[in-house]
Structure 1
Amino acid sequence: MNAFSRRGACPALSAPMQTGDGRLVRLNPVAGGVSPKSLLGLGESALRHGNGIMEVTARGSLQIRGLTPASARLLAVEVDAMGIAVRTGVPVETGPLAGLDPEEIADPRPLAERIRAAIEDAGLAQRLGPKVSVIVDGGGRLTMDAVSADVRLAAMRIDAGVQWLVAVAGDRQNATPLVMVEEDVARDIAVAILRMVAEKGREAHARDLSERQLTSLASWHSFAPAKDRLPLTAAPAPSPIGLFPLGGDATALGIGLPFG
């Protein structure tokens, strides 16, 4: 059984996962979304090469089902021909309105991109398991509070500036807070956490780090532990369904898809 046939694996476009109804692939577009034309094209490809079912996952990826080994390769060729660039490696995720919400504390996309580059430079993608993930949450009306991750970076207003709360293993409410730091240090600590996880093997997650390791991360730059400075209790999450003014004439529409 390989890494992409076991339960809970992340089936990338280049490594489809065998399921009860054929092979499954999951697409995470680099641009953070796809145009209506591309979405139609993907639907047609899913019908041509799979069983026609295309799902949206809880984390916003597109999932295409019912593929065969041969048709999965054809799907990959068509996705490439449509110009849809998809992410590979460790997922570093931002919110659905990242960089668009005028109420955001900070645009999380630059920090997320710097973390992706640091992960690549360190060669960690090949050493970490397929379910290890990072969240960079800029705040605003639609946060990532309810989404679990191995590493969480959340923007916080501190006095007149912005710092990033670094926490591990969980969602906003149950993750273990480490430190509150500037952006550069947040990136360094995030990569240090992933290095520690990688050293434990491809089955490991941040929840497997020892108390000693977490203490060393929290005291790395001699900052006061975040748990002594800020409670992690999350405010009630707003509904993602409805209209969200984005400034100017732009508006986002949140819709609810039926399960399945």
Structure 2
Amino acid sequence: MNAFSRRGACPALSAPMQTGDGLLVRLNPVAGEMSPESLIGLAESALRHGNGIMEVTARGSLQIRGLTAQSAALLAAEVDALDIAVRTGVPVETGPLAGIDPQEIADPRPLAERIRAAIEEAGLVQRLGPKVSVVVDGCGQLTMDAVTADVRLAATRTDAGVRWRVSVAGDGQNARPLAFADQGAARDIAVAALRMVAEKGREAHARDLSERQLVSLAGWLCLTSLREAPPSVLPDISPSGGEIGSFDAGFSLTTPEIGETIGDGVISPLEGEMSGRAKGGASRKPIGLFPLAGHATALGIALPYGSMPADNIIALAQH
């Protein structure tokens, strides 16, 4: 096992965090879902090695508390034996119905995978802090509007087809909009923003980027030479002045209408409109019945205060 995480870090399975009631681990399954059999096995492991309470975070991860150094190692071994692959690295999150919601504008999973791969290729995993995150929202029945992230990409319908609205530092209502872009350019803008954050240190977030850096990111689509370069070969970006491209230092970033320009460059060449939030299915609370593709239905439930005894979860999964 690795050294215990400090408070404020993400308590991954390999780096549990010390809390008042023992060690805490957090699991985010790669598949985004678990079979009833896997969930039962994990809950039984939580009963054996933790305090018997399982929690679901606002971002859909599972937490197990009350572990010791020895029992945390046993839990990790049992998770491996259950063949539950868990995500590591920078969180790139999609919604709970991603790819199976007939009302979403676009399946966000392919773009999320491209961003994860680009982050790895650019060597950013160790350079970014544990709380830095990315949201990719297909904008269906359950949007990701309430989840705060350093970089947000939300699917939007335009006359030119599906585009991704890229914004930084906030939730679906208050994040700073940068541009509409196709999937490839949206990925590049997202990774460029993360490189800027990494240059400021592991305590930094997108909210720490300067106005000049934000303007530079917003002008990404104008810089065709950089747009065509993979993120791994982009120049290191200095927080003090090494932005992408060259803009007047006094320029103020605003939310442009489609077709407006910054200097001589168009922020977004797409037809349509830039609304306060990306248009998609009507977002609702994640409780109740949700129609899915293939005549299936998802049932959303809420755990009291986000937690439930593991034996109750076992009983629920058995029905």
1:5 matches 2:6: yes
User: Which of 260, 275, 297 lines up with 1:231 in the alignment?
Assistant: 275
Q: CA deviation at 1:59?
A: 0.5
Q: Secondary structure at the match of 2:150?
A: strand
Q: CA deviation at 1:34?
A: 0.9
Q: Secondary structure at the match of 1:221?
A: helix
Q: CA deviation at 1:226?
A: 5.6
Q: CA deviation at 1:127?
A: 0.5
- Normalising by structure 2, we get a TM-score of 0.78
Counting only pairs closer than 5 Å after superposition, residues 9-20 of structure 1 correspond to structure 2 as 9-20=9-20
What corresponds to 1:66 in structure 2?
66
What corresponds to 1:107 in structure 2?
107
1:95 matches 2:124: no
When residues 71 and 62 of structure 1 are mapped into structure 2, their CA distance, relative to the original with a 3 A threshold, is same
Q: CA deviation at 1:5?
A: 1.4
RMSD: 1.8
Q: CA deviation at 1:26?
A: 0.2
Q: Which has the higher contact order (CA 8 A, sep 6+)?
A: 2
What corresponds to 2:121 in structure 1?
121
Q: CA deviation at 1:246?
A: 0.8
Q: Secondary structure at the match of 2:221?
A: coil
What corresponds to 2:170 in structure 1?
170
Structure 1 regions of 5+ residues with no counterpart? none
What corresponds to 2:286 in structure 1?
240
What corresponds to 2:212 in structure 1?
212
Counterpart amino acid of residue 31 in structure 1: A
- Normalising by structure 1, we get a TM-score of 0.95
What corresponds to 2:303 in structure 1?
257
Q: CA deviation at 1:247?
A: 2.7
Q: Secondary structure at the match of 2:222?
A: coil
Separation in structure 2 between the aligned mates of residue 87 and residue 247 of structure 1, nearest angstrom: 26
Tell me if structure 2 keeps the 8 A contact 1:30–1:85: yes
When residues 106 and 89 of structure 1 are mapped into structure 2, their CA distance, relative to the original with a 3 A threshold, is same
Tell me if structure 2 keeps the 8 A contact 1:180–1:225: no
Tell me if structure 2 keeps the 8 A contact 1:106–1:139: yes
Counting only pairs closer than 5 Å after superposition, residues 125-136 of structure 1 correspond to structure 2 as 125-136=125-136
Separation in structure 2 between the aligned mates of residue 125 and residue 68 of structure 1, nearest angstrom: 27
Q: CA deviation at 1:227?
A: 3.8
What corresponds to 1:190 in structure 2?
190
Q: CA deviation at 1:245?
A: 1.1
Counterpart amino acid of residue 232 in structure 1: G
Tell me if structure 2 keeps the 8 A contact 1:26–1:62: yes
Counterpart amino acid of residue 116 in structure 2: R
Separation in structure 1 between the aligned mates of residue 118 and residue 285 of structure 2, nearest angstrom: 34
Q: Secondary structure at the match of 1:194?
A: helix
Q: Secondary structure at the match of 1:89?
A: coil
Tell me if structure 1 keeps the 8 A contact 2:4–2:18: no
User: What number of residue pairs does the alignment pair up?
Assistant: 258
What corresponds to 1:25 in structure 2?
25
Rg: which structure is higher? 2
**What is the aligned-residue identity percentage?**
75
What corresponds to 2:245 in structure 1?
none
Separation in structure 1 between the aligned mates of residue 114 and residue 21 of structure 2, nearest angstrom: 38
Counterpart amino acid of residue 231 in structure 1: S
Separation in structure 1 between the aligned mates of residue 99 and residue 278 of structure 2, nearest angstrom: 21
